[in-house]
Amino acid sequence: MAGPDQAARATLRRFVNGFQISQAIHVAATLGIADLLADGARPIDELARETETDPEALYRLLRALAAADVFSEEEGRRFALTELGEGLRSDAPGSLAGWAAYIAGPASWQAWGALLHSVRTGENAFRHVHGADAWSWRTERPAESAIFDRAMMTTTRTMNRALVDSYDFGRFGTVVDVGGGNGALLAALLAAYPTLRGVLFDLPHVVAGADDVLRGAGVADRCRVVEGSFFDGGIPEGGDAYVLKAIVHDWEDPESLAILRACRGAMADGAVLLLIERVLGPPNEDLVTKLIDLNMLVHPGGRERTLEEYDSLLEVGGFELVGATSTPAGISVIEAAPSA
């Protein structure tokens, strides 16, 4: 049997060695190299002094990333940002700096190292490695929680813009964001729709910084913050739309159904449920979402789903699927109504 041709072999090798570039970008993001190069090229000695790193080791890191077009190596061992590397600046629109600092950090790195365990057993890799689920583990480690929150914030900004541009939230009077974090999504929605009112619902330590986010967007007077857990009940009543953004995919079916039923219990018959999630594509397509699905297996223990799987889950949870609206950010707004 003939072996793979050289192009196929090179592609496979690039996939096999992909962890190397991921880790190198993680280190550069953690050190804030892109921010240091925001005003132009700088010599390696300056960069090493400001990042408190070994000049020779840092040079070896940056020249490798320059070969990957993340940075550009100039004469005299100076480095500058490329268009690709601009995405690692903390102030760049759609910045990936926070995500890069998180996803290849030690806790995540070790969990991904246990992917084989998950595939063999079906068990969550993070819990296997760290002895606790990802949520509990981060709650006890504020520094790790801050890294995770920064990663979520950077990805949220791009998604929020896509949601506002793709779906008409203005047809609702009050939106209840269930598990809405620090209120970034609600702030974006309220800013886009001046007549809209919001209710933010999440755990006490999660919503602790919500007032600053809402005030910063100038919408605090139109948003109420309620502390609680969707597993313990207490989801606020009276909303016209109940939003679960990137919540259901964090959980397997039993927990997801508990969340859906808790929402159904708070909703009037005329209210709408909006799941904001990625939708798995057909076989042999949609690599991004299918890798995210593996990340769910490794980290929180949830899963991505097809639209048909969401339809089935919603039906058991007391809802009827109305439709799904895709966005340029790769996420969809899955709309459902309470079933009779």
Would residue 128 show up in a list of annotated catalytic residues for this protein?
no
Residues 106, 231: Cα–Cα separation, whole Å: 30
Strands 78-81, 174-178: parallel, antiparallel or unpaired by DSSP? unpaired
CB 329 within 8 A of CB 162: yes
Residue 189 tokens, joined: 């929605």
Q: Which helix (H) or strand (E) holds 93?
A: none
Residue 86 tokens, joined: 């601009």
Nearest to 126 by CA among 264, 331, 336, 302: 302
Q: Computed over its alpha carbons, how large is the radius of gyration of the chain?
A: 22
Task: Work out the end-to-end distance of the chain between its first and last CA atoms, rounded to an integer number of angstroms.
Answer: 60
Catalytic entry in 26, 128, 130, 249: 249
CB 317 within 8 A of CB 257: yes
E strand map for 246-284? 272-277
Sign of the Cα pseudo-torsion (280, 252, 144, 107, in order): negative
Residue 302 tokens, joined: 């949830």
Q: Which residues is 337 bridged to in the sheet?
A: 320
CA angle centred on 216, ends 213 and 217, rounded to 5°? 90
Residue 250 tokens, joined: 């964090």
Residues 288, 137: Cα–Cα separation, whole Å: 26
Cross-sheet strand order for the sheet of 42-43: 42-43, 78-81, 71-74
Strands 272-277, 241-245: parallel, antiparallel or unpaired by DSSP? parallel
Looking at the annotation, which residues are catalytic?
249
